[in-house]
Amino acid sequence: MIDPRIESKGFAVVLKGVETLPEKALQAASVGLARGLLVTVGIVQHDFLSGPRPKNLDVRTTRLRNSISSKVTNDGKRVVGQIGTNVPYARFHELGFRGTVNVSAHTRVLENQDEDGLDHDRRKILKDASGSVIGFAESRKRVAGRAKSGVSIFQHVRAHTRKLNYAGRPFLKPGLEKGFPLILQEIKAELATVTV
């Protein structure tokens, strides 16, 4: 009997009990698992990495969303499918973080003024589904860099430490859990095509 299960370490789907299957059936299980994981990658990208904020991560650069990938290994005793990313900051969002972080010295733009000395904020505002402002698409510093006229007021910030308590916004685990029935469906469909 095949025993499919999700192992949270490394976000993998493991098919145990396949060592008794013939080679063709083992290969079919691998193909079905691979196809199911591709669907799950789409679920992760669409449902958990495309907003809406603040519950889910939203798209800033598409780097994280485009990095989600899957792979299947078959050693003849078990079939393992993994889903993951190689983006360094993905772990921070998936698992959250509680502790102290070092903040490097940097320059912050406090205000962008036009020729008349009035605050002229040209940042694009980001809103959630209800219309509430949740942030900006770019920093004041970036806007100041492309301004053709006016004055920017800067503040120099020294290096310091900061306490952080971030619960995270998981995307891999909930995506894998949501896609699990589809993965099983693909494995069963592929095994049904094998003639022993």
Domain membership of residue 33 (yes or no) is yes
User: Do 70 and 152 belong together in one domain?
Assistant: no
Q: Is the dihedral of CA 8, 10, 15, 20 positive or negative?
A: negative
User: Do 15 and 33 belong together in one domain?
Assistant: yes
User: Do 23 and 68 belong together in one domain?
Assistant: yes
Q: Would you say 186 and 39 are in contact if contact means Cβ atoms under 8 Å apart?
A: yes
Domain membership of residue 181 (yes or no) is yes
Scanning 9-136, the segments in alpha helix (DSSP H) are 23-43, 63-67, 90-95
User: Do 25 and 85 belong together in one domain?
Assistant: yes
User: Do 179 and 90 belong together in one domain?
Assistant: yes
Task: Tokens for 55, please give them.
Answer: 């519950």
> Phi and psi dihedrals of 169, rounded to 5?
-135, 80
Scanning the chain, the segments in alpha helix (DSSP H) are 23-43, 63-67, 90-95, 140-146, 172-192
State which residues form the domain around 40.
3-96+167-192
The phi-psi region of residue 29 (left if phi > 0; otherwise alpha if psi is between -120 and 50; otherwise beta) is: alpha
Q: Would you say 55 and 101 are in contact if contact means Cβ atoms under 8 Å apart?
A: no
User: Do 85 and 172 belong together in one domain?
Assistant: yes
Domain membership of residue 101 (yes or no) is no
Per this entry, what is the length of the chain? 196
The CA radius of gyration of the chain, in Å to the nearest whole number, is 24
- Amino acid in the structure at residue 171: F
User: Which ranges of the chain have pLDDT less than 50?
Assistant: none
At 152 the pLDDT is: 80
Task: Tokens for 92, please give them.
Answer: 């921070």
Domain membership of residue 63 (yes or no) is yes
User: Do 148 and 72 belong together in one domain?
Assistant: no
Q: Give the DSSP letter of residue 45.
A: I
At 19 the pLDDT is: 67
Domain membership of residue 13 (yes or no) is yes
* Spatial distance between the Cα atoms of 139 and 112, rounded to a whole number of angstroms: 11
- Amino acid in the structure at residue 27: Q
Domain membership of residue 162 (yes or no) is no
At 164 the pLDDT is: 95
Q: How many domains does the chain have?
A: 2
The phi-psi region of residue 99 (left if phi > 0; otherwise alpha if psi is between -120 and 50; otherwise beta) is: left
- Residues 136-169, buried b or exposed e (16+ Cβ, 10 A)? eeeebeebbeeeeeeebeeeeeeeeeeeeeeeeb
User: Do 149 and 74 belong together in one domain?
Assistant: no
User: Do 9 and 89 belong together in one domain?
Assistant: yes
Q: Give the DSSP letter of residue 9.
A: T
At 3 the pLDDT is: 67
